[in-house]
Structure 1
């Protein structure tokens, strides 16, 4: 098999899809205006979502009727990469906690070592004082330490025959691209390249802070602990008064602190921002990202976090597309070419990257997805040496 396939976009979805197809025997080329490793100031490119992952492998803020299948496929590949010591893949003891009783999402059934939290154990789980009741759960969660994982993913693609061509793609030149099959992984650039049947194109703006060289947060069992924590709406809420969450994801390069979810429409981004903010390097962000995380980290880990610390702010977009069936993973004919769309991942671009790539493989191959999955695992084992670093 040597069919030429072009992938538009070099974010995590584009690179993962290209690598998957390359390992399955296709001849792939990624067309992209920007290569992620060449960008020094990511705040100049808020729509390039792969500059900003935290990156937990949890299907947050994404909408698809294929979610379970896509997630489980991705999860299995990430666990295999973990066994092979692929750079940046770690497993945390992750908590999702609320001060008011939440609805339990379906994905709780898909996570390993899931446990509901108990009020009798409050002192041993992330919380802010004074809190008498907590709701939620914990599970084992895969994390992709982004400063390690993304460069390694790109290198693996290039080392296995993949090609990247830096070129701005426009709607006018789609018909001139030198391949009969095109995979569209251009994210927020997709509606400018192809017609989109969705009326609304929703994006969610998020604020992140990076505290470099911060220590890993661990429990008495030596497990790295991360969390999403939602206080009562009076403490932290979105523009509609709905309770909002903060989080801390410890990585080898420091802590990633969040968060915010400010909904806007692609092409006319207007954000409702609270007057209750901190400001760093000219970037305003909800003050609760620092203040609440500081309380939680101090209470459980006896470690300090302050607005006076050296914190690096970032502001990026998650492309939700719409809340009915936001993920677009389908094919159509455009300019006599087969175009397979792979965008609208919301906050789950990393999480669903391998599952979406395998679904695309199913559309291209004459074999079932289980077979493609097994072949991909076999090929990954060949190209990722055990105990690599």
Structure 2
């Protein structure tokens, strides 16, 4: 730990903030260091709960379920930005129910009449939908109220920190270089925020491994339209052509979106690796280093479960 006993968390996205808050509420002093507060990729997340192309499944199932229960509890607080929202995930070809379907009590197959034209399979369920700017602000306020401190600066090497400090690496795309982990790669995601024309349920298309996603998530007066999943692309610049295509794809599902006024564009890079990394690492002559990164497009979905596992490990070792 540091001279004042703090555990240092690197990163202030949803993973870092949730981990810091969980540690604080378990009695550990925490200091957070991040280049941006909150992290831009977390702000850009569409944030419908659901394990999205992430492994290993046995651990992902447990982490997702713990987060699901946490979000259900948070949905009772309007200030959290979390709501339980009904909607449909549909596909243009027959697809089996996702592995996580058993975690949702109201999960069921759609009737033909419930599906948009051109779709042959679909499932209806209610899941947590998170307004990310509001939620990240909620986490940050709760973190600071619990006694956590935060510092805005970039960490390029763990050597910049006292070797006696217990560190939790929650740096998203920056986590790979800090850990000398070359398996981490970006998957660029882009969303368009428009005025909500009156849509109250979410819609998501199962597009498999396509880089062109189709989804819309109502957030009261606004609605988040998505999206893209461009493997290996690190740019955070808005792509106007991609934005126009996103609106077009969503409007093909619900024509009310065609003329909706565009308010904002959000871009992030999902930090992806073959498996989520939640583990401790012993460094030579240094305190333990804990890793919590590589969540891909499921950072929000896994956030509470992974944070609690890190907290349990630190409580055992520190």
Same fold (TM over 0.5): yes
Q: Which runs of 4+ in 1 moved over 4 A?
A: none
**Partner of 2:178 in structure 1?**
193
**Partner of 1:371 in structure 2?**
none
**Partner of 2:143 in structure 1?**
157
**Partner of 1:305 in structure 2?**
258
**Partner of 1:359 in structure 2?**
309
Structure 1-normalised TM-score? 0.73
User: Match for 1:60 among 38, 52, 55?
Assistant: 52
**Partner of 2:128 in structure 1?**
142
Structure 1 residue 284: Cα displacement: 2.5
Q: Call closer, same or farther: CA 1:329–1:79 in 2, change over 3 Å.
A: same
- Match of 1:203, SS state, is strand
Q: Call closer, same or farther: CA 1:313–1:167 in 2, change over 3 Å.
A: closer
Aligned length: 311
Q: Is the 8 A contact 2:79 2:134 kept in 1?
A: no
Structure 1 residue 3: Cα displacement: 4.9
Alpha-carbon distance in structure 2 between the residues aligned to 1:291 and 1:53: 20
Structure 1 residue 362: Cα displacement: 1.5
**Partner of 1:329 in structure 2?**
278
Alpha-carbon distance in structure 2 between the residues aligned to 1:284 and 1:72: 37
- Match of 1:285, SS state, is helix
C-alpha RMSD of the superposition: 2.6
Aligned counterparts, 1:75-224, within 5 A: 75-119=68-112, 121-122=113-114, 125=115, 127=116, 129=117, 131=118, 134-171=120-157, 173-176=159-162, 180-196=165-181, 200-212=183-195, 214-217=196-199, 224=200
Q: Call closer, same or farther: CA 1:281–1:110 in 2, change over 3 Å.
A: closer
Deviates more, 1:70-79 or 1:59-68: 59-68
Alpha-carbon distance in structure 1 between the residues aligned to 2:289 and 2:271: 20
**Partner of 2:31 in structure 1?**
29
Q: Call closer, same or farther: CA 1:6–1:343 in 2, change over 3 Å.
A: same
**Partner of 1:339 in structure 2?**
289
Q: Is 1:229 aligned to residue 205 of structure 2?
A: yes
- Match of 1:55, SS state, is coil
- Match of 1:347, SS state, is helix
Aligned counterparts, 1:36-51, within 5 A: 36=38, 48-51=40-43
- Match of 1:343, SS state, is strand
**Partner of 1:258 in structure 2?**
226
Alpha-carbon distance in structure 2 between the residues aligned to 1:86 and 1:103: 36
- Match of 1:26, SS state, is coil
Q: Is the 8 A contact 1:147 1:253 kept in 2?
A: no
Alpha-carbon distance in structure 2 between the residues aligned to 1:230 and 1:59: 13
Q: Is the 8 A contact 1:7 1:28 kept in 2?
A: yes
**Partner of 2:14 in structure 1?**
12
Q: Is the 8 A contact 2:189 2:269 kept in 1?
A: yes
**Partner of 1:276 in structure 2?**
none
- Match of 1:113, SS state, is coil
Any unmatched runs of 5+ in structure 2?
Answer: none
Q: If you compute each CA radius of gyration, which structure gives the higher value, 1 or 2? A: 1
Structure 1 residue 174: Cα displacement: 4.2
Deviations 1:166-198 (A, max 9, x none): 222122534526x531111001111221222xx
